[in-house]
């Protein structure tokens, strides 16, 4: 009985440590996304990027902008808002 109790105590501690590690990973991802370096902009479609730019700047991008141009514009608008 005592060894079973020790086993479960150790298991609880292992799970707490694992949970802490997952929280740190999630926090790092949130910080990265908030800074505009994460998948939030990279994961957007061109149409989503155009809408994001329009929302932030008040004007849609002109012409047929390349994806790289849209990403650059969105990145500038993200850093300007901080």
Q: Convert the pLDDT of each residue in 40-69 to its tens digit.
A: 788 888 998 999 899 889 998 888 889 999
Contact 77/57 with Cβ under 8 angstroms? yes
Cα three-residue angle 10-16-17, rounded to 5 degrees: 90
DSSP 17: H
Contact 46/67 with Cβ under 8 angstroms? yes
Read off the pLDDT band of 27 (50, 70, 90): confident
Is the pTM of the predicted complex or chain greater than 0.85?
no
């Amino acid at each position: 009985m005592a060894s079973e109790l020790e086993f479960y105590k150790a298991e609880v501690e292992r799970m707490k440590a694992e949970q802490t590690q997952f929280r740190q990973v999630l926090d790092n991802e949130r910080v990265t996304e908030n800074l505009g370096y994460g998948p939030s902009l990279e994961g957007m479609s061109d149409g989503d990027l155009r809408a994001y730019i329009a929302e932030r700047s008040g004007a849609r991008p002109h012409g047929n902008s390349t994806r790289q141009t849209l990403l650059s514009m969105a990145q500038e608008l993200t850093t300007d808002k901080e």
